């Protein structure tokens, strides 16, 4: 299909904006808001252009370096388009929240926009070279955003972030080199096709020996760091806590989804059989992520760390859903297919919903910090319901969404995941319920400690949200309610993609 | 004997002698009262003209022989062929050496110096063309005695006297060895004619006594070319002798001596045939026998070559005086040249006689040509090097490394000449020194297959690499290190012209080696 | 046409030497003009050569009796490397703009070196190649000895002697090959067709490979490289690491592999897993990659980090060469180009932009200088250069290293894993150096403490900015559009490996 190259435009637009922002100095934020706003519009446009049957649409193909199997191949299906919309929205939120960047704002917003471009690029790429390029491209701005504008312990936090992610990337790269050696192809669609007939494994074995399992491990390791999955998660709390809150919004809202997206686009389609063979240990790790994330969140005193670990917990549900559905196809078990579809739908929804919710939560934390002169401990606040009812109300909605209250968007994804996972892996699902319970406890504790009780000294005179902030936050909260009440707005477009994906995956 | 032949063949030597006498007459007689500068100019001019005049008969004569009877057993002198190449080299180098006199002030006895130089050069010409033992000896003595005198010429310098004494004693002793060896040759064969000696020895097969004689001869000649272990005079002599004398020793006497060695090694080809067959042996049989005997003789030369390459380069590393450095480097270069000479083709194939003749004819000439090329260009480079050294010595008073400090500031052209000459000696392309080495090694490997020649070539190349270090030490002083004294160094225009000309020749001959190579091959 | 790069450079060197002293600007402008002209010729030659195979530029008998010809020709590999030389030359001149001491002599030696390098890449006669190779040695010595810094005389002599020893080994190989092939010709094509006996090739190959490998920084003969790079003035380091080390690698490819391919065959026996010269040199290459990276990680002097990183990156080139498959060797040639550009950029930043202003290269001291604020151009330029050096996609290094790793996978998988370790360590030392020099944690952020008025450094001059833009831009361009070089390299590599028409 050779229509207007929308996806290229979407990827390039933030880069142009970044170049302008770098030179704009004080007005960089304005430039960034304009650019991200345009990207949101464009992403929504892409969302509307999806083919109805769930296959890849808006394809752009050009030869790049044929002897190396490198092609300029872009395309989106429901999953990819949803991620584009999410990234655009989260970036807009992040830019909106960052209205007190005094030090080198041009550089700050330039880096944020480059990061957004990296996100768009990796969600639309269908060739490994292109995808890896943008995967790495997003790493550098993130590193510098933490390093230059972060909190007191930003150095080690940025270092850990960098080292872990790079190590994961190298594992990915080496594994993909092996795949290239065996198949001479770097195209995700082509490789998925090869994997679905079992040819991929044959080619790998004949060229390199019985190393397919190792390659699968390598690829999984690369993504496990990014999601993150226990025990590769140790970089996350420090990075999230030390990064300035608007950057944390980006990290948790969009960047973590790159990991899950990678699992769905690359790891599972290519190495489904291997994943199915490793299913039990993987499920254990997923459950550990869920439970550990929740327990750790309960133990934190710093609000940012609470929400950081809570993110780990929420993404653990995605992992649970993915690994749960990795069961070989058994003829005549229609229920299995339905469960798999439910789980996968849930995973994708959870990606979107968690992204929006978590970003909103960190936005509120940012507001808390600004209004109280830098405090963000869980015990530093109290009784904010009285001086700032609107604030409390909106933040409360976001918190309840994170908890998974029905009627809000957080519920839908988790519900679908459990619905699918229960019939496919009931032990794991049961244990994960613990996570749900503990999360609930954590959220309620936060609500209680922040909004009720006596008001400490530094919070007296806590101003409520002013109009600008209300106008910025209201759509986000509104979105949470909308998706929570009318999830079919998303599911209707995502489900065909889910069916399409499942049809091509071989366990 | 035909006296017109005698006159014709010895014309070059005669011209030189006449020129020498003329110089003496003019200098001591007519110009008695004139200033040193004038006497110098006149003497050098006359000397140079004499050499140039001597060049004419050398070039014009083709291959010919001076005999006093019939047959090969009576040849005394030869001309043409490689002899002419060597003689041309000697004459040109003499001219250059004389021109270097302009800047040196070590003596007022200009006429005597020039005369002795010319007479020594005549001795050199004689050595190069000799075909008989006695004539060899006469020529060598003429050359050597002249060199002893030249070495001692700086009357105010104790070093000069000491150097001359060492040179004389050493030289006398090796002349004795030489004569002793020659006497054995005579005793074994009953003749003093080189060709006949070789013929008779190869017919009967070399006896142990012959080997002893050969070693003695090599000792005597090895002294002249300064190879290990007969090199001990070289550092002191190079250091003590006045610069033009040292230049003369380093260039002319080497050319002459190597020409003699070539004669000894391959006398055959220039002989008129015919008489040999009368003895009932064919040319091929004799040649075959000779080529089978030669490798054993060459072993002595190879050992001397290897030793020179090693000792010359390694000892040069430790020097702090440029003259001594040049001396040790001369030993090393003599080693390389001797390697080329010793790697004479062996006759391993017992095949077609016709093939043998044609193939090895060219092959033999190839190694000989490369040896000649090397010796001539080395001589040229050395004369230039000593010229630079003498200029620097005059300006700073010593030839230690440190007197070259900051040369690029004090006289950039001189420093550039030094750069070119030393890099050529180190064997850096595209200068002629590199081509000479490459040519020599290629000829050796092409003609002599086997582990020993190959190992020696490897040694030679490795030692060349070592040599870069000590040449760079001097160049480092000239270009890199800061100067102590930044005053300008003045050079006499003629000397500067000569030095620049030599440097230009080194560059041009290196870039267009066929010019010289082709000229050598024509003979 | 391409041959004019050589002639112009030497002519420029000669004129520079004759320029009157004291007029530095004349010297600089002339050098810039000559190097830009050389680059223009290189680019036009590259474009002209697209789609053509080997193009003979000039073939004149030089010493007919020995079969030596003055033969200049260019195939895809030559054209790419000539392009690299042109870029490095222009960048080198730009980054030497501030030299005031004996300026004209500096540029004379510089242009002479460039001319020699052009000559090597364009020679198709082995003797001529050797001549140009040796010509390049002397200017290197003087550039480092006169204008260098730390221990310059020692470093210059070490470099000159190592190079000379390497070339001596090559000379022996050249003479032996010439003699063994019947002494008819020294042309590369002719010698390639000579089919020397396998037993000869078995010892000629390692001799010549090591001889060239010394200049390519092959472990364990690499020790001249870090010392030499650190001691050399910026432009000389850029040329040394960027171009001169590639001479060695080019010789390994064109001469050793091209003329003695059977030297890489299995020996028939195997000793601790090593069964051919190919295995031996692969091991040495991998050791070089990992050793260079590990040592770079431990350095306290900024320039030493870059110096050792050069050893590590050249290990990739050598590894790619011994894979002997199309993709590996193509990757090696591309890595030659890529590393040439990137190393030039790294040395330019460390040497010219940072050292000339801060007068220290010690990372511990640089840490306290808050360079990300006072020299932001240097900081961000180094980030870009560091990203390129790490081999992150988007820059030329990624495609090159990717190809080498694939080639190594095809040949022997464990080579790839070991090299992969090298990449990881490469990330580590690059990041460590960036962090320590520019983005140290030791200083407070401006939010925590307001600006205290640190004295500012000299502003970035236009030559520096242009040079950085040129090099970074080329690396980025090739990284995003590698086809432009691959289309030239691949056919040439295929021809060389196939053995015909070398």
Q: B375 phi and psi, to 5 degrees?
A: -60, -40
Helix (H), strand (E) at residue A482: helix A467-485
Q: Distance between CA atoms of B255 and C370, rounded to whole angstroms?
A: 69
Which residue carries 């319970």 as its tokens? A437
- CB-based contacts of A39, cutoff 8 Å, min separation 6: A10, A13, A14, A88, A91, A92, A116, A120
Which uninterrupted H or E stretch holds B391? helix B353-396
Of A26, A13, A27, residue with least CA distance to A113: A13
Q: Give residues with Cβ within 8 angstroms of B282, minimum separation 6.
A: none
**Contact across the interface for C183 and B446, Cβ inside 8 Å:** yes
For chain C, percent of residues with pLDDT exceeding 70: 96
3-state secondary structure of A332: coil
pLDDT of A85 > 50? The answer is yes
Residue B342 clears pLDDT 70, i.e. is over it? yes
Give the closest residue to C448 by CA, choosing from A156, A107, A154, A379.
Answer: A154
Residues B514, C68: Cα–Cα separation, whole Å: 11
pLDDT tens string C371-423 = 877 888 888 899 999 999 988 888 999 999 989 998 888 888 788 888 888 88
Quote the CA–CA distance of A297 and A233 in Å, as a whole number: 13
- Interface residue C130 vs chain B (CB under 8 A): yes
3-state secondary structure (DSSP) of residue B150: helix
Chain C interface, best mutation among B468, B471, B512, by max C CB count within 10 A:
B468
- The yes-or-no reply on C/B contact (3 CB pairs or more, < 8 Å) is yes
Angstrom distance (rounded) from CA A275 to CA A208: 20
Q: Do C168 and B465 touch (CB under 8 A)?
A: yes
Q: Establish, for the pair of chains A and C, how many residue pairs have beta carbons separated by less than 8 Å.
A: 77
Q: Which residue from C65, C127, C161 is facing B468, i.e. has the nearest CB? A: C161
| Residue B104 backbone dihedrals phi, psi, to 5 degrees | -95, 145
Q: Is C62 helix (H, G, I), strand (E, B) or coil?
A: strand
Is the CB of B430 less than 8 angstroms away from the CB of C172? no
Which subunits have 3 or more CB–CB pairs within 8 Å of chain A?
A: C
Residues of C in contact with A144 (CB under 8 A): 383
Phi, then psi, of A184 in degrees rounded to 5? 55, 25
Q: Which residue has the higher pLDDT, A58 or B326?
A: B326
Q: Which residues of B148-162 are buried (b: 16+ CB within 10 A; e: fewer)?
A: bbbbbbbeebeebbb
Which residues of C, range 70-129, sit inside 8 Å of B by Cβ? 105, 127
Kindly report the pTM of this predicted structure: 0.87
Instruction: Find out whether C122 and C79 touch, Cβ atoms under 8 Å.
Output: no
CB atoms within 10 A of CB A40: 19
Residue B329 pLDDT more than 90? yes
Which of residues B199 and A271 earns the better pLDDT score?
A: A271
Neighbouring subunits of C (3+ Cβ pairs under 8 A): A, B
Mutation site for B-interface testing, chosen from C106, C172, C182, C200 by largest number of B Cβ within 10 Å: C172
- pLDDT at residue B33 above 50? yes
User: Chain C contact for B472, CB < 8 A?
Assistant: yes
Phi, psi at residue B227, to the nearest 5°?
Answer: -110, 160
Res. C264: pLDDT tops 90? no
Give the tokens for residue B403: 């007197």
The alpha-carbon gap from A400 to the nearest alpha carbon of chain C, in Å, equals: 34
DSSP character at residue C461: P
Q: For residue C318, give every residue at least 6 positions away whose Cβ sits within 8 Å of its Cβ, in sequence order, or none.
A: C213, C216, C218, C249, C252, C281, C284, C285, C288, C332
A460 touches chain C (CB under 8 A): no
User: Band of the pLDDT at C108, cuts 50, 70, 90?
Assistant: very high
Q: Where are the extended beta strands (E) located within C315-411? A: none
User: Pick from C66, C141, C165: which is nearest to B472 by CB?
Assistant: C141
Residues of C within 8 A of B448 (CB-CB) are none
- Measure in Å the smallest separation between the Cα of B333 and chain C Cα atoms: 17
pLDDT computed for residue B379 by the predictor: 94
ipTM of the complex: 0.87
* Angle formed at CA A500 by CA A495 and CA A503, multiple of 5 degrees: 125
Q: Does C141 contact B at CB distance below 8 Å?
A: yes
Measured in whole angstroms, the distance separating CA B239 from the mean position of its chain's CA atoms is 18
Identify the pLDDT of residue B267.
Answer: 57
| 3 state SS of C74 | strand
**What pairs with residue B335 in β-bridges?**
none
DSSP assignment of C109-172? HHHHHHHHHHHHHHB-BHHHHHHHHHHTHHHHHHHHHHH--TTHHHHHHHHHHHHHHHHHHHHH
Spatial separation of the C-alpha atoms in residues C179 and C190, rounded to whole Å: 13
Q: Would you call B31 helix, strand, or coil by DSSP? A: coil
B250-264, pLDDT tens digit by residue?
999 999 999 988 888
CA of residue A333 relative to chain centroid, distance: 32
Helix axes B432-447, B493-511, angle to 10 degrees: 40
Q: What are phi and psi of C268, to 5 degrees?
A: 105, -20
Phi, psi (rounded to 5 degrees) for A309: -65, -35
Nearest partner of B138 among B146, B149, B127, judged by Cα: B127
- The 8-class DSSP code of residue B405 comes to T
| Residue B431: per-residue pLDDT | 92
Q: Does C14 touch chain B (CB under 8 A)?
A: no
Query: Is the confidence at residue B335, as pLDDT, over 90?
Result: yes
Of C330, C409, C482, which has the smallest distance from its Cβ to A177's Cβ? C409
CA distance linking residue A65 with residue C402, whole number of Å: 13
Pair of tokens at residue A426: 């009931």
Q: In this predicted structure, what is the pLDDT of residue A186?
A: 86
Check CB contact of B446 with chain C, cutoff 8 Å: yes
Out of B430, B445, B469, name the one closest to residue C175 (CB).
B445
Q: What's the gap in Å between the CA of B351 and the closest CA on chain C?
A: 19
Q: Does B504 touch chain C (CB under 8 A)?
A: no
Averaged over A361-385, what is the pLDDT?
A: 82
The pLDDT of residue B358 is 42
Contact C486 A180 (CB under 8 A): no
Per-residue pLDDT averaged across B351-378, rounded?
66
Does the CA dihedral C165-C170-C173-C175 come out positive or negative? negative
Q: Name the residue in chain A with its Cα closest to that of C418.
A: A174
Name which of B387, B382, B415 is nearest B488 in CA terms. B415
CB contact set of C274 (below 8 Å; sequence gap of 6+): C280, C283
In the block, which residue shows the tokens 């030392």?
Answer: C429
The answer to whether C135 contacts B429, with C-beta atoms less than 8 Å apart, is yes
Q: Which of A67, A133, A209 sits opposite C393 (nearest CB)?
A: A133
**Over the stretch C84-102, which tens digit does the pLDDT of each residue have?**
999 999 999 999 888 888 8
Question: pLDDT tier at A454 (50, 70, 90 boundaries)?
Answer: confident
Longest dimension (CA), chain C: 80
Please list every residue in chain B whose beta carbon sits closer than 8 Å to the beta carbon of residue C165. Answer: 462, 465
Tokens of C429: 């030392």
Please name the residues in contact with B76: beta carbons below 8 A apart, sequence gap of 6 or more. B66, B67, B68, B130, B131, B132, B135
What is the Cα–Cα distance from B138 to B455, expressed in whole angstroms? 38
Which is it for strands A70-76 and B64-67: parallel, antiparallel or unpaired? Answer: unpaired
Strand partners of residue B321 = B400
Contact predicate A271/A216, CB 8 Å: yes
Residue with tokens 């040196």: B104
The pLDDT of residue A391:
85
- Is the CB of residue B277 less than 8 Å away from at least one CB of chain C? no
* Mean of the per-residue pLDDT values of chain A: 87
Number of helices and strands in chain B (H, E): 21, 2
Q: Where are the alpha helices (DSSP H) in C216-325?
A: 224-231, 234-239, 245-251, 258-259, 277-297, 302-323
Task: Tell me whether C203 touches chain B (CB under 8 Å).
Answer: no
Chain mean position to CA C362: 25
Q: How far apart are the first and last CA of chain A?
A: 31
Closest-CA residue of C relative to B413 is C18
Pair A71, A187: CB distance under 8 Å: yes
B508 shares contact with chain C (CB less than 8 Å): no
pLDDT of amino acid C501: 36
Contacts of residue B438 in chain C, CB cutoff 8 Å?
Answer: 127, 171, 175
Q: How confident is the model at residue C454 (pLDDT cuts 50, 70, 90)?
A: low
- Which of A65, A132, A170 comes nearest C420 by C-beta? A170
HSE value, Cβ hemisphere, 13 Å, CA-based, for C69:
20
Distance of CA C192 to the CA centre of its chain: 25
CB atoms within 10 A of CB C483: 18
DSSP state, A24?
T
Tell me which of A315-319, B479-483, C133-137 is least confident: B479-483
For residue A102, which residues of chain C lie inside 8 Å, CB to CB? 446-447
- Residue A149 contacts C where some CB pair is shorter than 8 Å: yes
Structure tokens given for C6: 């050589």
Chains near B (3 or more Cβ pairs under 8 Å):
C
Q: What is the mean pLDDT of residues C493-497?
A: 86
Closest-CA residue of C relative to B471 is: C157
Report the phi/psi class of residue B109: left, alpha or beta, with left for phi > 0 and alpha for psi in -120 to 50. Answer: beta
**For the segment A139-168, what is each residue's pLDDT rounded down to a tens digit?**
889 998 988 888 888 888 888 888 888 888
Please report, rounded to a whole number, the percentage of residues in chain B having pLDDT higher than 70: 86
For chain C, state the CA radius of gyration: 22
C327-362 pLDDT, tens digit each? 999 999 999 999 999 999 999 998 888 888 888 888
Q: Test B514 with C64 for CB contact under 8 angstroms.
A: yes
Q: How far is B456 from chain C (nearest CA, A)?
A: 11
- Distance from C-alpha of A112 to C-alpha of A15, rounded to nearest angstrom: 10
User: What distance in Å separates the CA atoms of residue C180 and residue C170, rounded to the nearest whole number?
Assistant: 15
Determine contact: A400 vs chain C, CB below 8 A: no
């Amino acid at each position: 299909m050779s229509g207007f190259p929308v996806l290229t435009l979407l990827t390039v637009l933030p880069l142009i904006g970044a170049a302008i922002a770098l030179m704009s100095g004080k007005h960089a934020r304005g430039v960034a808001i304009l650019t991200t706003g345009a990207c949101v519009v464009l992403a929504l446009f892409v969302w509307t252009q999806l083919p109805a049957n769930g296959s890849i649409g808006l394809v752009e193909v050009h030869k790049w370096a044929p002897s190396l199997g490198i092609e300029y191949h872009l395309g989106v299906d429901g999953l990819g388009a949803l991620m584009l919309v999410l990234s655009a929205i989260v970036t807009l939120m992040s830019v909106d929240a960052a209205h007190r960047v005094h030090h080198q704002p041009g550089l700050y917003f330039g880096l944020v926009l480059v990061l957004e471009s990296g996100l768009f690029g990796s969600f639309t790429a269908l060739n490994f070279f292109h995808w890896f390029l943008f995967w790495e491209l997003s790493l550098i701005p993130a590193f510098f955003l933490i390093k230059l504008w972060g909190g007191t312990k930003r150095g080690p936090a940025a270092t850990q972030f960098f080292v872990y992610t790079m190590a994961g990337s190298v594992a990915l790269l080496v594994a993909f080199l092996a795949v290239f050696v065996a198949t001479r192809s770097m195209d995700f669609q082509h490789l998925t096709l090869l994997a679905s007939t079992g040819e991929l494994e044959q080619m790998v074995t004949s060229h390199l020996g019985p190393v397919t399992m190792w390659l699968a491990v390598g690829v999984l390791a690369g993504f496990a760091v990014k999601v993150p999955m226990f025990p590769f998660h140790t970089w996350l709390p420090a990075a999230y806590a030390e990064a300035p809150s608007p950057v944390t919004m980006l990290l948790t809202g969009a960047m973590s989804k790159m990991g899950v997206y990678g699992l769905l686009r690359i790891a599972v389609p290519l190495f489904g059989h291997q994943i199915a063979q490793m299913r039990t240990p993987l499920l254990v790790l997923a459950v550990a992520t869920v439970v550990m994330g929740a327990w750790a969140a309960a133990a934190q005193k710093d609000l940012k760390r609470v929400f950081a670990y809570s993110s780990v917990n929420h993404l653990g549900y995605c992992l649970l859903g993915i690994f749960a559905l990795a069961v070989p196809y058994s003829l005549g078990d229609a229920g299995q297919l339905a469960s798999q579809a439910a789980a996968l739908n849930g995973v994708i929804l959870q990606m979107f919903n968690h992204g929006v919710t978590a970003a909103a939560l960190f936005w509120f934390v940012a507001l808390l910090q600004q209004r109280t002169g830098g405090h963000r401990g869980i015990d530093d606040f109290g009784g904010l319901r009285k001086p700032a009812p609107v604030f409390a109300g909106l933040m409360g909605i976001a918190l309840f969404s994170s908890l998974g209250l029905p009627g809000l968007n957080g519920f839908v994804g988790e519900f679908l995941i459990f619905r699918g996972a229960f019939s496919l892996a009931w032990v794991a699902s049961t244990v994960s319920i613990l996570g749900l319970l503990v999360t609930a406890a954590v959220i309620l504790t936060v609500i209680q400690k922040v909004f009720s009780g006596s008001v400490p000294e530094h919070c007296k005179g806590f101003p409520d949200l002013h109009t600008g902030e209300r106008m910025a936050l209201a759509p986000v909260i509104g979105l949470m309610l909308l998706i929570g009440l009318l999830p079919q707005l998303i599911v209707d477009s995502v489900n065909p993609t889910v069916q399409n994906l499942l049809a091509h995956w071989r366990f | 004997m035909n006296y017109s032949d005698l006159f014709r063949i010895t014309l070059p030597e005669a011209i030189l002698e006449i020129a020498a006498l003329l110089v003496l007459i003019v200098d001591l007689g007519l110009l008695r009262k004139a200033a040193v500068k004038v006497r110098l100019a006149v003497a050098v001019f006359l000397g140079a003209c004499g050499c140039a005049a001597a060049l004419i008969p050398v070039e014009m004569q083709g291959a010919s022989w001076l005999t006093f009877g019939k047959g090969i057993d009576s040849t005394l002198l030869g001309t043409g062929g490689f002899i002419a190449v060597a003689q041309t080299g000697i004459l040109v180098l003499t001219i250059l050496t004389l021109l270097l006199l302009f800047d040196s002030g070590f003596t007022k006895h200009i006429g005597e110096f020039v005369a002795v130089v010319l007479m020594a050069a005549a001795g050199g010409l004689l050595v190069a063309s000799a075909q008989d033992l006695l004539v060899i000896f006469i020529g060598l003595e003429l050359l050597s005695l002249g060199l002893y005198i030249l070495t001692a010429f700086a009357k105010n310098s104790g070093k000069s006297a000491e150097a001359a004494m060492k040179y004389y004693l050493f030289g006398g002793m090796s002349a004795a060895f030489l004569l002793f060896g020659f006497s054995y040759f005579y005793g074994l064969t009953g003749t003093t004619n080189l060709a006949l000696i070789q013929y008779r020895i190869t017919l009967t097969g070399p006896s142990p006594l012959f080997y002893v004689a050969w070693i003695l001869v090599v000792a005597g000649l090895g002294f002249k070319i300064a190879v290990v272990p007969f090199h001990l005079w070289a550092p002191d002599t190079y250091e003590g002798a006045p610069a033009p004398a040292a230049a003369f020793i380093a260039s002319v006497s080497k050319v002459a001596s190597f020409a003699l060695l070539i004669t000894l090694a391959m006398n055959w080809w220039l002989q008129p045939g015919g008489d040999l067959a009368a003895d009932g042996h064919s040319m091929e049989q004799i040649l075959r026998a000779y080529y089978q005997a030669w490798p054993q003789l060459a072993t002595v030369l190879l050992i001397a070559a290897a030793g020179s390459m090693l000792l010359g380069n390694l000892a040069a590393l430790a020097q702090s005086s440029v003259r001594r450095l040049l001396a040790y480097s001369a030993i090393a270069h003599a080693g390389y040249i001797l390697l080329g000479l010793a790697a004479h083709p062996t006759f391993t194939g017992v095949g077609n006689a016709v093939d043998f003749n044609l193939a090895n004819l060219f092959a033999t000439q190839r190694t000989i040509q490369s040896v000649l090329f090397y010796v001539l260009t080395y001589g040229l480079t050395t004369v230039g090097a000593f010229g630079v050294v003498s200029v620097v010595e005059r300006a700073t008073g010593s030839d230690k490394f440190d007197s070259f400090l900051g040369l690029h500031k004090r006289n950039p052209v001189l420093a550039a000449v030094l750069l070119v000459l030393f890099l050529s000696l180190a064997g850096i392309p595209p200068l002629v020194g590199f081509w000479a080495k490459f040519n020599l090694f290629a000829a050796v490997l092409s003609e002599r297959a086997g582990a020993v020649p190959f190992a020696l070539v490897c040694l030679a190349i490795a030692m060349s690499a070592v040599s870069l270090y000590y040449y760079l030490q001097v160049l480092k002083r000239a270009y890199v290190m800061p100067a102590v004294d930044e005053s300008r160094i003045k050079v006499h225009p003629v000397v500067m012209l000569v030095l620049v000309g030599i440097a230009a020749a080194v560059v041009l001959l290196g870039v267009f080696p066929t010019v010289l190579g082709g000229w050598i091959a024509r003979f | 046409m391409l041959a004019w790069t050589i002639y112009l450079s030497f002519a420029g060197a000669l004129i520079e030497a004759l320029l009157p002293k004291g007029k530095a600007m004349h010297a600089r402008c002339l050098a810039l003009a000559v190097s830009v002209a050389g680059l223009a010729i290189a680019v036009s030659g590259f474009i002209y050569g697209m789609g053509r195979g080997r193009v003979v530029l000039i073939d004149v008998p030089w010493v007919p009796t020995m079969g030596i010809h003055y033969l200049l020709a260019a195939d895809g590999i030559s054209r790419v490397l000539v392009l690299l030389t042109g870029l490095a030359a222009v960048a080198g001149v730009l980054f030497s703009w501030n030299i005031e001491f004996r300026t004209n002599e500096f540029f004379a030696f510089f242009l002479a070196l460039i001319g020699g390098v052009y000559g090597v890449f364009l020679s198709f006669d082995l003797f001529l190649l050797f001549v140009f190779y040796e010509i390049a040695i002397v200017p290197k010595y003087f550039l480092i000895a006169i204008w260098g810094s730390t221990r310059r005389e020692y470093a210059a002599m070490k470099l000159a002697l190592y190079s000379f020893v390497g070339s001596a080994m090559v000379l022996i190989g050249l003479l032996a090959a010439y003699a063994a092939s019947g002494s008819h010709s020294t042309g590369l094509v002719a010698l390639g067709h000579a089919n020397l006996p396998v037993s000869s090739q078995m010892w000629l190959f390692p001799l010549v490979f090591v001889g060239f490998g010394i200049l390519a920084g092959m472990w364990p003969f690499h020790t001249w490289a870090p010392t030499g790079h650190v001691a050399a003035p910026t432009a000389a380091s850029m040329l040394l690491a960027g171009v001169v080390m590639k001479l060695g690698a080019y010789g390994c490819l064109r001469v050793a592999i091209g003329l003695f391919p059977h030297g890489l065959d299995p020996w028939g026996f195997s000793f601790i897993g090593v069964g051919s010269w190919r295995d031996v040199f692969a091991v040495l290459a991998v050791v070089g990659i990992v050793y260079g990276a590990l040592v770079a990680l431990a350095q306290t002097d900024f320039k030493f980090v870059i110096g050792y990183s050069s050893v590590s990156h050249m290990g990739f080139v050598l590894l790619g060469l011994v894979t002997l498959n199309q993709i590996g060797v193509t990757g090696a040639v591309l890595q030659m180009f890529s590393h040439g550009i990137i190393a030039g950029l790294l040395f330019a930043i460390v040497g010219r932009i940072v050292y000339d202003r801060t007068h220290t290269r010690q990372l511990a001291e640089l840490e306290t200088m808050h360079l990300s604020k006072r020299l932001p151009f240097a900081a961000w330029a180094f980030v870009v250069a560091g990203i390129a050096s790490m081999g992150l996609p988007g820059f030329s290094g990624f495609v090159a290293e990717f190809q080498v790793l694939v080639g190594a996978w095809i040949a022997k998988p464990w080579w790839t894993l070991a090299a992969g370790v090298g990449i990881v360590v490469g990330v580590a030392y690059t990041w460590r150096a960036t962090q320590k020099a520019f983005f140290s944690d030791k200083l407070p952020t401006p939010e925590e403490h307001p600006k205290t008025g640190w004295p500012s450094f000299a502003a970035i001059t236009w030559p520096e900015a242009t040079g950085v833009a040129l090099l970074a831009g080329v690396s980025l361009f090739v990284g995003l559009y590698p086809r432009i070089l691959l289309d030239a390299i691949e056919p040439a590599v295929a021809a060389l490996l196939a053995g015909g028409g070398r």
